[in-house]
Amino acid sequence: MVTFVDRVTLHLRAGKGGNGCVSVRREKFKPLAGPDGGNGGNGGEIVLVADPQVTTLLSYHHSPHRTAGNGGFGMGDLRQGAAGEDIELPVPLGTVVKDPDGSVIADLVEPGMRLVVAPGGQGGLGNAALSSPKRKAPGFALLGTPGWEGDVVLELKTVADVALVGFPSAGKSSLIAAVSAARPKIADYPFTTLHPNLGVVEAGDIRFTIADVPGLIEGASEGRGLGLEFLRHVERCTALVHVLDCATLDPGRDPLSDLDVILAELAAYPVPEGQVPLVDRPQLIALNKVDVPEARELADLVRPDLEARGFRVFEISAVARDGLRELTFALGGIIAEHRAEIAARPPAERIVIRPQGSERDFVVKVEGGTYGNIYRIIGAKPERWVAQTDFQNDEAVGFLADRLERLGVEDELYRSGAQPGSTVVIGAGDGVVFDWQPSLTSAAELMAAPRGTDPRLDQGGRRTTSQRRERYHERMDAKAAARAELETERLARTADDEVDGGGR
């Protein structure tokens, strides 16, 4: 049965924004009192929160699919749509958030840190918000945009000051149980510990956390066994304690060979950029199980060799609680020195978030096609505007054309070589396909037309009275010209006949 999970993939879908409303206020004696369509509500977002009370990602292992609430639709009488319900997902301290490609998005190491991992969609504006002195009563509203949808990977790296490392059954769980209030599972068979255990240790006025990392074996840094999952929890530790079993009965093993294997695995494990390699961090040696007479003799034998290699060595017995005070106070000194060094560092540079739109909002890419070039527009604003447009409403389409023109899309298409009738795609993939007509760039606000229509998109509407009169005069002129031509031909034939008769 799974009781500890330190890596999961979440499938997230934020809420969709609600659509805006098209409405015109009607009162007694005021049949058309102006637009009053409300805005749609924003979609709910999904937020990760670093919670010290959470120690595992088990709940997300069983239910990885999470969906936030959708925003409500706007309504008449300036009633705004309700915002979608947000979802907060508590995660343990030390959770690293990555995208499916492995790029780090955020590292949640402080209690209360929040990350909006899936932003909700934007609610559409109603026609009341779209009205202006030139467009007094819009016959359209904007649609809500879809929320973010995708996968994120959560990877837990234990946050502790000290890590106990060593071979399986070296006594690490017994040691953390002896020096702290932690109560890990302890048994006399290898790989009893399947996940890190945390305990709090007090050494004088210094309090620090200690992690019991599951046993390592040779080849752990290459993924043998569960080595990579175990070594991940050592990355954030300030100091390491090598717990060496002096009472092992396995042939070919002794404290020195065990230490060499563990050091080789720690050296081969790559740490993130900017962190101190594992083998370069402060390290202590704990020769465990010296309550056994043969183990005491072996500890006395190997201690000079270990000290000659530069290690501080402590002979301990987790069962008899011998040597634990000296070990914990030595660790407390290392932790206090490290904390003082961190406090003396200059404060980290503040993160400055630049306003969106400070750079260019879109690009035009020219792609070859079977029937000529395709001009693809990529940018957050154009793609969002297309998602907000109701293409069943001509006035909404004209409004989109005006927004694109003000953004400079028309000029950029001209510079890219587009001609009237060229194929233009907005967005990646299939996107939204248009046959580009530059004539749409004229100001729609100055055109008088019924709500919901745009005369620039009227391809076959009724002709006006002046157009019919002009067409009538053209037909009359054409008929008069034809009669005049026939009369000229008749007179010419008559003259020819008279000349022929006179000659006879």
* Residue positions forming the annotated binding site for GTP: 166-173, 191-195, 212-215, 288-291, 317-319
Partnered with residue 202 across adjacent β-strands are 207
Q: For residue 324, give the 3-state DSSP assignment.
A: helix
Q: Exposure of 272 by Cβ count < 10 A (0-12 exposed, 13-18 middle, 19+ buried)?
A: exposed
Q: Is 41 exposed, middle or buried (0-12, 13-18, 19+ CB in 10 A)?
A: buried
Q: Which two tokens stand for residue 174?
A: 């017994």
Closest CA to 180 of 167, 157, 207, 199: 199
- Pairing mode, if any, of strands 162-165 and 104-108? unpaired
Taking each helix axis as running N to C, give the angle between helix 172-179 and helix 324-344, from 0 to 180 degrees, rounded to the nearest 10.
80
Report d(CA 147, CA 153) in Å as an integer. Answer: 19
Q: By C-alpha distance, which of 179, 408, 456 is closest to 314?
A: 179
Q: For residues 406 and 333, what is the distance between their CA atoms, to the nearest angstrom?
A: 65
Residues annotated within the binding site for Mg(2+) are 173, 193
- Crossing angle for the helix pair 394-407 and 380-387, nearest 10 degrees? 170
- Of the CA atoms within 13 Å of residue 15, those in its CB half-sphere come to 25
Q: What are phi and psi of 231, to 5 degrees?
A: -65, -25
* Cβ atoms 425, 375 nearer than 8 A: yes
Structure tokens at 482: 């034809």
Our separate counts of H helices and E strands in the chain read 11, 18
Give CA–CA dist 400/391, Å, rounded.
Answer: 10
Nearest-angstrom CA–CA distance, 74 and 95: 38
Taking the C-alpha atoms of residue 270 and residue 469, their distance in angstroms, rounded to an integer, is 84
What the block records as the tokens of 465 is 């009275």
Q: Decide: 16 and 43 in contact? Cβ < 8 Å.
A: yes
Alpha carbons 185 and 498: distance in angstroms, whole number = 134
- Cβ-based neighbours of 426, under 8 Å, separated by 6 or more: 376, 377, 382, 383, 386, 432, 434
Pair 130, 96: CB distance under 8 Å? no
**What's the one-letter identity of residue 296?**
R
Tell me how far apart the terminal alpha carbons of the chain are, to the nearest angstrom.
Answer: 129
Name the binding residues: 166-173, 191-195, 212-215, 288-291, 317-319
Within 8 A by CB and 6+ apart from 176, the residues are 164, 182, 184, 197, 199, 210, 211, 212
